[in-house]
């Protein structure tokens, strides 16, 4: 996958929002609906992609108004994410923990977590909710290593790095290529905890197209190969925003990776189970999936995705 180009408009918009939430959070909360609608009107590329994504996720029966509501919801949750990131870069751990309202699947997860010295543990998640409160929760018991991509928006990268430094999260940049994966392999072989994202193929990673919402979407294979080579468990972890703005956290049953991932990874039971979980989570809270770019197989036919409607 090629590296996505970031426009000057996107850089300025994201940096301005982050600075706003850092210095005037009350004001930003009041004007957020207005900012979301302004972004929807002006960011034509995002609007087109969100309408395409909304049509696929919500289905052909969804009205144009419902699809636009979905798109506006994604933009609002992106701002919630940035607000949470700023908070994580400044707030103590206890304040972040208080933001987690419910934790599902905890008893089984505790048993697995307590035995992590026997086998490594991969926490696999998607671009939804906020990583930092979840890392604060997990990090009470053991250091968490995370694979990430350095962001070319410097303000975002600086705030995110500070938040993770405060939490003791150990960062490994995918930009470093094979060295990052070798470091994660060593951590897992030592029984450590590694957090990965499994809903988007980053530059330099390999992926495979798999069925999702009646289309196909590219899913990274790396987390599954890493689990197999280190004999680690994969625990799907999801978090999402509750109506009151706090977070819900859920740990699913662990996934064991077996079989040959080289010949036909799309048919591997572990990857198929992961895709089922992703689809179910996105379907439950579609506007919380923080994705404003096309992710579907471009060779497949799509419906009318032209952006000739008047923006709301």
Give the pLDDT confidence of 119-174 residue by residue, as tens digits. 899 999 999 999 999 999 988 878 899 999 888 899 999 999 999 999 999 999 98
Residues 6+ apart with CB under 8 A from 307: 44, 47, 48, 51
Task: Give pLDDT tens digits for 286-305.
Answer: 999 999 988 898 777 655 55
Domain 8-288 has CATH 3.40.1130: yes
Strand partners of residue 147: 172
Task: Give pLDDT tens digits for 211-251.
Answer: 999 999 999 999 999 999 999 999 999 999 999 999 999 99
Instruction: Note whether 167 and 135 are within 8 A (CB).
Output: yes
Instruction: Note whether 215 and 296 are within 8 A (CB).
Output: yes
Residue 4 pLDDT class (50, 70, 90 cuts): low
The Cα 209–Cα 207 span in angstroms is: 7
The Cα 138–Cα 93 span in angstroms is: 11
Strand partners of residue 144: 193
- Say what the pTM is: 0.91
Domain ranges of the chain: 8-288
| Alpha-carbon distances, residue 216 vs 1, 192, 279, 280, 295 (angstroms) | 16, 33, 11, 15, 9
- SS3 letters across the chain: CCCCCCCHHHHHHHHHHHHHHHHCHHHHHHHHHHHHHHHHHHCHHHHHHHHHHHHHHHCCCCCHHHHHHHHHHHHHHHHHHHHHHHHHCCCCHHHHHHCEEEEECHHHHHHHHHCCCCCCEEEEECCECCHHHHHHHHCCCCCEEEEECCCCCHHHHHHHHHHHHHHCCEEEEHHHCHHHHHHHHHHHHCCCEEEEECCCCCCCCCEEEEEECCEEEEEECHHHHHHHHHCCEEEEEEEEECCCCCEEEEECCCECCCCCCCCCHHHCHHHHHHHHHHHHHHHHCHHHECCCCCCECCCCCCCCCCCCCCCC
Question: Comparing 103-112, 188-197, 220-229, 292-301, which segment has the lowest mean pLDDT?
Answer: 292-301
């Amino acid at each position: 996958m090629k590296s996505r180009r970031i426009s000057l408009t996107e850089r300025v918009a994201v940096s301005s929002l982050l600075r706003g939430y850092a210095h005037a959070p009350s004001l930003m909360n009041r004007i957020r609906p207005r900012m979301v609608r302004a972004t929807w009107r002006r960011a034509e590329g995002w609007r087109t992609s969100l309408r395409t994504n909304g049509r696929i996720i919500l289905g052909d029966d969804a009205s144009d108004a419902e699809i636009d509501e979905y798109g506006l919801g994604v933009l609002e949750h992106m701002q919630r994410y940035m607000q949470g990131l700023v908070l994580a870069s400044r707030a103590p751990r206890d304040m972040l923990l208080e933001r987690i309202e419910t934790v599902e699947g905890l008893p089984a997860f505790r048993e697995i977590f307590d035995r992590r010295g026997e086998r490594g543990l991969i926490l696999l998640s998607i671009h939804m909710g906020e990583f930092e409160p979840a890392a604060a929760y997990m990090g009470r018991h053991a250091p968490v290593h995370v694979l990430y991509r350095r962001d070319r928006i410097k303000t975002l990268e600086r705030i995110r790095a500070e938040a993770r430094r405060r939490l003791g999260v150990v960062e490994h940049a995918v930009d470093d290529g094979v060295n990052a994966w070798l470091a994660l392999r060593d951590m897992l072989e030592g029984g450590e905890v590694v957090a990965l994202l499994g809903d988007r193929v980053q530059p330099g990673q390999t992926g495979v197209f798999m069925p999702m919402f009646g289309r196909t979407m590219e899913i990274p294979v790396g987390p599954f190969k890493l689990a197999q080579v280190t004999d680690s468990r994969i625990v799907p972890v999801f978090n999402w925003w509750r109506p009151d703005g706090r977070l819900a956290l859920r740990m699913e049953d662990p996934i064991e990776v077996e079989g040959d991932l080289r010949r036909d990874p799309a048919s591997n039971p572990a990857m198929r189970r992961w895709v089922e979980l992703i689809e179910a989570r996105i379907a439950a809270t579609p506007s919380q999936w923080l994705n404003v770019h096309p992710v579907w197989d471009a060779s497949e036919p799509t419906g009318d995705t032209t952006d000739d409607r008047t923006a709301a």
